[in-house]
Amino acid sequence: MSQSFRLAEGGRIDRSRTLAFRFDGRAYAGHPGDTLASALLANGVHLVGRSFKYHRPRGILTAGAEEPNALVGVGRDEGHYTPNLRATQVVLHDGLVAESQNRFPSLERDVGGLTDLFWKFIPAGFYYKTFMWPKTAWTRVFEPRIRAMAGLGRAPEIADAACYAQRYAHCDVLVVGAGPAGIEAALAAASSGARVILCDEQAEPGGALLAETDATLDGADVASFLATRLSWLQAAGQVTILPRTIAFGYFPHNMIGLAQDLTDHLGEPDDTQPRGRLWQVRAREVVIATGAIERPLAFPDNDRPGIMLADAARTYVTRYGVLPGRNAVVFTAHDSAYAAALALHRAGARIAAIADLRPDPSGELVEAARAAGLPIRPGCTLTGTEGRLRVTAATIARRDGGAGERLSCDLVLMSGGFTPSVHLFSQSRGKLRFDPALDAFIPGEPAEACRAAGAAAGTTSLADALASGRAAGEAAATAAGFTAPPAMAIAVANAPAATGGFLGATPHGRNSGAVRAFIDFQNDVTAKDISLALREGFRSVEHVKRYTTNGMATDQGKLSNMNALGIMSAELGRPIPEIGTTTFRMPYTPVPFGYFAGYARGALFEPERHTPIHDWAEEQGAMFEDVGTWKRARYFPREGETMHRAVARECRAVRASVGIFDASTLGKIEIVGPDAAEFLNRMYVNAWTKLKPGRLRYGVLLREDGFVIDDGVIGRLSDTRFHVTTTTGGAPRVLAMMEDYLQTEFPELDVWLTSTTEQYAVIAVQGPRARDVIAPLVEGADISGAAMPHMSMVECRVAGIPARLFRVSFTGELGFEINVPADYGRAVWEAVFDAGRRHDVTAYGTETMHVLRAEKGYIIVGQETDGTATPDDVGLAWAIGKAKPDFVGKRALDRAAFAGQTGRKQLVGLFTEPGDVVLEEGAHLVTDPDRPPPAEILGHVTSAYWSETLGRSIALALVRGGRDRIGETFHVKLSDRAIPVRLTDPVFYDREGARLDG
């Protein structure tokens, strides 16, 4: 189709190039500089969507971010498909593919449109009043139907092909909005030497100036004035101008979120380049110059395609060179519509009438329209429109009654005045103030270091906007510690102030039960719905919003809020400031999830932590598991081995000869200072004073309320130095807890804490031949059983590398843990492994480690404990230093209520009958497996394994009063059966500990 509504000249589009695009499968053409909306209008297309509830045909209503109707799905393929984009914001590019939404089978013939016939039966909130019976009908029938009718576009079905970027920025002054006020504010601030960021949602800066063709500024036309100002800004050096960038959120302490579109406007971008960038800007001062949004008038059938906001129509003519219609009826309460009527008139459209609600409109714009011979009808209202897929006629009448006059038309323009865009200011928690002259909320007392300027602050003329921007820029610079040099005021001509406005439903003299005047176009909320909500007792502005869904559509009330307030005010007989307004929340306009997710995807979603031995394990074909953020080798399968078989083999090797295990993920904290032992005395349940240098002790750490939070082996290197190990997941938590006590409760202690987790690789060598394996590699230490007993340590060299060698065992076998600097971890590991070959050394993973320790009844904090276990519950009462006056958690354990408790869950072992059944971890013990629910639960299985050593299954469990029930038989309920289990001591293997010595 040719661009039959494209004007021959004018506008900021490039007629020398033609862009081809498709909408609902049909081919169209437009030009660079167009939006999808302007290009569609140039082709005579108004019908672009269907409304949410009644599926009413809808056309392009606005020219900006506030568009409620023209929501389209855009994307060249599924990986680039985005639903619900406003056609008024989609920058046209060659090859653009767009489709309408919420219709079946086609936009012109939508089955859902049948709903509109039943509108009287489905007023606001109807769904709360029906579909309750029968109960299953709601889930099976009604809810799926409602869901299918609702929604707008469709979600993309495959993964997004794009990537996203993020950055932080700091500036002295952030100016939001590059319209006349914003540009002046940025210039003023920049001239003071302040670092300035100026952002604007549109592709080019200028805001309202981009559609202004009448005014002259300092004697120049608007376009050249704008070009000069922007060149000054660019020359100012410390100014960052961000087009296509929406300031979507205002966060505490002057942090503003910006969403910058980088590639959506470029046809077929390279997916390796970011599609958009999220900015987190910390600004000393903020200038909010976000403009104002024109309001619709709420008259009967005000929603037909071809009905448009007056200023939007003017923008299509002057900025895009498009005539939105040839025969227009204008309905207004504001001067702005006269400027629009004049622009259309000059572009060749017929103005059938200008119906003005005001009895006596006056002012420069009105006079200009009068002088141009436009038919002005003061004191008139619009009582209805006709036309299904496009408006064909409108009826106007005196607002005080009388017969209506039906005027044929293909376009209806409306203006109810302007609503300042106070969203960001309100998000910042600044107080809004109602200005009765403007009939609008404007920024009042700020809560953050910010100020509003221009139309957002309520100015009504270009001259005032420029001056207010200048003043705001200067004030912001001053507040940020700069001084802006004085500047000359700009001489503005031919840009008269535009005033007026109307809130609420316009008079129409018809049976109000039979007509619908839409307030929220997208959600199909009518004036009548607002009245109904009030009648049903929903008096709070938030209740009205939630009951009617007014303002909850994707435009978030940008067009609807004030008219709803107008109706509420009239019906409740209360002034608007008493009613208040709904809360403004981020984002100002919708922002893709991808912007927020940014780089955090795939491997970067959360960095993986690898030990120095990770690559070796990978080369050996290890299977890994996630433990916190670490990747740990779980087992080392040989060709064709299952996990079960590999673990059995690894277990046999450790018990029979020797195994090697990467324990590098253990948390490590170096505790140093004259009071190090005293500090440990106060933190851990154990006594530390008498621990000799060169010895190790198993420590248990409690929370202050007495429950086990961590454990680990602690070595004393000297009187003043301890090497503490923690659980893998607990390291940061333990260090933070220690710092808390050291800094805030025990500041008198002379102690330093250093995290050394990543400084050491830890190589565990376990098994009867462990000493044989490492002995040839150790220099500078006697590691014989006599010189280095179990639970001792020595500083020496292993394979030539300085090491802290621990004689320690988490398997029950003779064992060593070699701590070497992380960079040498792999080299030492390989040296030990090589040395071990003649002893048949076997690498084992966490699963084998779990089995071996379970055979010995060693607990794992977080598996045998769950935040509600005391040391005694898990059999660790022996560790408590009884003579100590105090340690973290002691006072809580000593509470009388605690001491008197019976039936606490205690750690026991379980033998299944028969012995080849491995229980499920997390399964529960019951007294009577045949009792119907609720069962009497005695406890649960915390660990369950096949014990290769014992040739049968073993399990650990927490069982109520378990220690007194050892020998008794209960049942563990699995999903399909109950397994008899006998309670045993939790140490299954080598109770005497003889094997620790090899």
Partner 1 sequence: MLLIPCPHCGERPEIEFAYGGEAHRVRAADPRAVDDASWTDYLYIRRNARGEFEERWRHAHGCGRFFNLRRNTYTDMIDRGAAR
Partner 2 sequence: MQRFSALALIRRALDGQAGWQAQWRDAAPKPAYDAVIIGGGGHGLGTAYYLARKHGMRNIAVLEKGWIGGGNTGRNTTIIRSNYLFDESAALYDHALKLWEGLSAELNYNVMFSQRGVLMLAHNVHDEQVFRRHVHANRLNGVDNEWLTPEQAKAFCPPLNIAPGMRHAVTGGALQRRGGTARHDAVAWGYARAASAIGVDIIQNCEVTGIDRDAAGRVSGVQTTRGAIATRRIGVVAAGNTSVVMAMAGLRMPLESFPLQALVSEPVKPCFPCVVMSNTIHAYISQSDKGELVIGAGTDAYISYSQRGALHISMHTLEAICELFPMFRRMRMLRNWGGIVDVTPDRSPIIAKTPIPGLYVNCGWGTGGFKATPGSADLFAHTIARDEPHPINAPFSLERFAEGRLIDEAAAAAVAH
Contacting residues toward partner 1, per CB under 8 A: 251-255, 280, 282, 429, 447, 704-705, 736, 739-740, 743-745, 885-886, 890-892, 894-897
Residue 521 token pair: 């176009």
Contact string 619-648 vs partner 2 (x = CB under 8 A): ------xxx---------------------
The first and second tokens of residue 901, run together, are 């408790």
Residue ranges in 885-914 that form contacts with partner 2 under rule CB under 8 A: 892, 895, 897-898, 901
Answer for the pair 454, 289: CB distance below 8 angstroms, yes or no.
yes
Which residues, other chains included, contact 593 with Cβ-Cβ below 8 Å and sequence gap of 6+? none
Partner from partner 2, partner 1, none binding residue 704, C-beta < 5-8 Å depending on class:
partner 1
Q: How far is the CB of 731 from partner 2 (least distance, A)?
A: 16
* Binding characters for partner 2, 45-64, by CB under 8 A (x = yes): -------x------------
43 contributes a contact to partner 2 by CB under 8 A: no
Which of 10/598 has CB closer to partner 2?
598
CA–CA gap between residue 531 and residue 552 (Å, rounded): 17
Residue 373 binding result from partner 1, partner 2, none, given CB thresholds of 5 to 8 Å by partner type: none
The structure tokens listed for 335 are 């001067």
Q: Which helix (H) or strand (E) holds 228?
A: helix 222-235
Alpha-carbon torsion, ordered 973, 979, 984, 986, to 10 deg: -60
- Token pair belonging to 279: 């900015």
The answer for residues whose C-beta is within 8 angstroms of residue 835's C-beta and 6 or more apart is: 773, 774, 776, 777, 841
Q: Which of 597, 781, 827, 950 binds partner 2 (CB under 8 A)?
A: 597
Between 977 and 991, CB nearer to partner 2: 977
Minimum distance, C-beta of residue 611 to partner 2, in the bound complex (Å)? 17
Q: Binding string to partner 2 for residues 161 to 180, with x set by CB under 8 A, is what?
A: -x------------------
Q: Using the minimum distance from each CB to partner 1, give the nearer residue, 167 or 931.
A: 167
Which tokens in the block code for residue 142? 């009604």
Of 62, 63, 72, 78, whose CA–CA distance to 21 is shortest?
Answer: 72
Choose between 125 and 998: whose C-beta lies nearer to partner 2: 125
- Is 586 near partner 2 (CB under 8 A)? yes
Contact set for partner 2, span 109-148 (CB under 8 A): 120-123, 126-133, 135, 138-139, 143-144, 146-148
What is the three-class DSSP state of 532? helix
How many of the other CB atoms lie within 10 Å of CB of 775?
13
Q: Which residues is 353 bridged to in the sheet?
A: 329
Measure the CA–CA gap between 958 and 666, rounded to whole angstroms. Answer: 25
345 binds partner 2 (CB under 8 A): no
How far apart, in whole angstroms, are the C-alpha atoms of residue 565 and residue 119?
23
Q: Does 923 bind partner 2 (CB under 8 A)?
A: yes
719 binds, among partner 1, partner 2, none (CB under 5 to 8 A by kind): none
User: How far apart are the C-alpha atoms of 343 and 353, rounded to whole Å?
Assistant: 14
Which of partner 1, partner 2, none interacts with 934 (beta carbon under 5 to 8 A by kind)? Answer: partner 2
254 touches, from partner 1, partner 2, none (C-beta below 5 to 8 Å by class): partner 1
Site for partner 2 contains 513 (CB under 8 A):
yes
Please identify, using beta-carbon distances, which residue of 515 and 656 lies nearer to partner 2. 515
Q: Pattern of binders to partner 2 over 530-569, x per CB under 8 A?
A: --x--xxxxxx-xx--xx-x----x-x-------------
Residue 668 beta carbon to partner 2: minimum distance, rounded to whole angstroms: 21
With beta carbons less than 8 A apart as the criterion, state whether 765 and 759 touch: no
Question: Which of partner 2, partner 1, none interacts with 131 (beta carbon under 5 to 8 A by kind)?
Answer: partner 2
Residues in the chain: 998
User: Distance between CA 484 and CA 956 in Å, rounded?
Assistant: 74
Report, in Å, the least distance between residue 886 CB and partner 1: 6
Nearer to partner 1, 253 or 837 (CB): 253
Q: Which is nearer to partner 1, 492 or 591 (CB)?
A: 591
Does 446 bind partner 2 (CB under 8 A)? Our answer is no
Nearest to 255 by CA among 283, 230, 292, 277: 283
Minimum distance between the CB of residue 153 and partner 1, rounded to whole angstroms? 32
d(CA 327, CA 824): 84
Q: Which one, 839 or 890, has the nearer CB to partner 1?
A: 890
CB of 584 to partner 2, least distance (A): 10
586 binds, among partner 2, partner 1, none (CB under 5 to 8 A by kind): partner 2
Strands 255-261 and 380-386: unpaired
Amino acid at 136: T
How near is the Cβ of 733 to partner 2 at its closest, in Å?
A: 12
Q: Which stretch binds partner 2 (CB under 8 A): 246-254, 453-461, 486-494, 670-678?
A: 246-254
d(CA 653, CA 842) in angstroms, rounded, equals 6
Helices 336-346 and 310-318 pack at an angle, to 10 degrees, of: 40
Residue 971 pairs in a beta bridge with 926, 980
Residue position matching structure tokens 């109602």: 434
E-strand stretches of 703-808: 708-718, 721-726, 752-755, 760-766, 778-779, 792-798, 801-807
Binding partner at 891 among partner 1, partner 2, none, C-beta below 5 to 8 Å by kind: partner 1
**Nearest approach, Cβ of 789 to partner 2 (angstroms)?**
35
